[in-house]
Chain A
Amino acid sequence: MTSVLTLKNVKKTIKRKTIINGLSFSVLEGEVFGFLGPNGAGKTTTIRMIVGLMEISEGDIVICGKSIKDDFTGAIRHIGAIVENPEMYKFLTGYQNLMQYARMHNGISKGKIAEVVELVGLTDRIHEKVKTYSLGMHQRLGLAQCLLHDPKLLILDEPTNGLDPAGIREIRDHLRMLTRERGMSVIVSSHLLSEMELMCDRIAIIQNGELIDVQTVNEFIDGETALFSFETGLINKPEVTWLKSEWDATITESGFTVETAREKIPGLIKKLTAKGVDLYGVKTIAKTLEDRFLEVTSK
């Protein structure tokens, strides 16, 4: 797979203070790349450098083969972005706002605008002034603005901030559709792991402007173990003993957890059913990721 975005040892110093200290990573075609870190870690600063709002102090950023430093217009045309909040012209309608951005790219037709408005579900309200919009509608208009020119890379800085669960769900569905159906790559930043796990293929953890780790979410390599959580009904003594001795399981309030290889799971389920244990659900816990993140954020 080719990479859409590459950061090469990027540093940012503001007033002699190092804010980003040597970030290097790549974002691949068609993946959702998470950018996870506590508040003040440098997520927004990194994004500002990627989109050219801030100058890079050291290193380089390459987008679809074009360096943002040497060929700004060539690089930025492949990006659609929301940096922090999607602030719009409040005295214009949603449609007039989109027209502003449509005029700045080549060849965006009226049909394309209508299509994007339909996609984000704003068709009914698009001709109303933005000052009448709710936060969720602002967010959707922001997304529409990013998608007008069919970018290769979408960058969303804390897109779920302030949204209710339904809004968060909506953003997640949009991202999945855009990457799966249109082959777009997406960078989402967040300070919440739980959210990122649900929408990202890979997650980079940063803190104090440094890359701590890049983790693949839900990746199962044969032979490698992962932590699985089983939700069960009441488990009787013999079964508890069996689970503890045979599987090294930990009993929890709602069932138990085991650390094992993925291919062992079907067998375990069969045996549990045979022993008469009611099974309500099984899920994986990206243990290493959570641990790493807690390690970092609890400091």
Chain B
Amino acid sequence: MGKLIINEWVKLFRRAGTMVLVGIVILMVLGIGAFLKYEEIQNPPQENQNWKQDLTVQIEGDRAALEETGQNNANLKMFYERQIAINEYQIEHDLAPETNYNVWSFISENMGAIGFIGVFTIIIAAGMVSSEFSWGTIKLLLIRPMNRSKILLSKYITVVLFGVMMLTILYVVSAVVGLALFGLPEESLPHLAFVNGEVVERSLFLNLIGEYFLSSIDVLMLATMAFMISAVFRNSSLAIGLSLFLMFMGSSITMLLAARYEWAKYILFANTNLAVYFDGVPPVEGMTLTFSIVMLFLYFVLFQLLAFFVFSKRDVAA
């Protein structure tokens, strides 16, 4: 198994395209860092002396909005409640909002790039099986004393390793660039999370790792889906197209449906953002972490079974 994964890894990284993807992630972090630093030098942020008053005004506004719209929309209700609670907590405990960038806020800023990593991992996953067919190399690959399921598994593991590697590169490069450009925060502020109607303090460092992990579940599920489509239909364009469409539209469509129908909670994308259970509100009221994990697990098993069953059985006539 180890040797099969080495094979896949060699095939992946001997292609120029893969190295370009890695390069893009690194350049992107450098670019964002340079841009934010430039902005900070151009318009140095002012220390806001009246932050408590400003927050109070915001709380008033949120209260009004909660009265008005929040009552008939569970989602908005939770959103306003969360905002109000966190702001009140900040006033109460004298936690002034951070105005300057520091390494943590920079890493957090770069979490937006996980979307790109998602796109890249989907592209890799989609080509994993279908390229062997289009190159014709599948014929030499499958006539070895290895079961097809082992070969497919090694390919899947390689996709997951690729995703993990990209996330690690993003986190580490962000940390290095963030430290170099913005340094550590002056006083170590906690991260405020809203869990079960209460505000709790968390370590920023651990919270960021946790958020990276939770954001990557989305990537993992979409990459698994792209991999499945690639193994079943042997067509990478279809796998990339469908997966990217769902990646960008999936959650919006799910949110629209979730506002009206309760069954929307069974849709994959209603469950991929587990962060809502640690700090936020779920798309459909009454959804729990356990429910989402079970749903994710079921989708995962479904994708894998489809991929393995079809790949192991189908005739190779390429």
Contact = CB atoms under 8 A, between A and B. Distances in A.
B317 A48 contact: yes
Contacts of B10: 92, 96, 99-100
Indicate the size class of the contact surface on chain A: 20 to 34
A274 interface: no
A87 B146 CA distance: 19
A237 interface: no
Interface string A84-95: 111111111000
B154 to A, nearest CB: 10
Q: For the complex, would chain B's binding face be called helix, strand, loop or mixed by DSSP majority?
A: loop
Contacts of A48: 315-317
A60 to B, nearest CB: 17
Interface in B127-155: 135-137, 139-140, 142-147
Contact of A83 (B139, B144, B146, B313): B139
B316 A54 contact: yes
Contact of A103 (B7, B136, B313): B7
Contacts of A96: 10, 14
Interface stretch (A71-79, A111-119, A208-216): A71-79
Given A88-B137, A92-B10, A103-B7, A51 B15 contact: no
Contacts of A100: 7, 10-11
Contacts of A53: 139, 142-143, 315-317
Contacts of A88: 137, 140
Given A87-B136, A87-B137, A105 B14 contact: no
Given A76-B143, A91-B16, A104-B3, 8 more contacts: A48-B316, A74-B145, A76-B145, A86-B140, A87-B136, A87-B137, A87-B140, A92-B14
10 contacts: A48-B316, A53-B316, A54-B317, A55-B313, A55-B315, A85-B136, A87-B140, A100-B7, A104-B3, A104-B145
Interface of B: 3-4, 6-7, 10-11, 14-16, 135-137, 139-140, 142-147, 313, 315-317
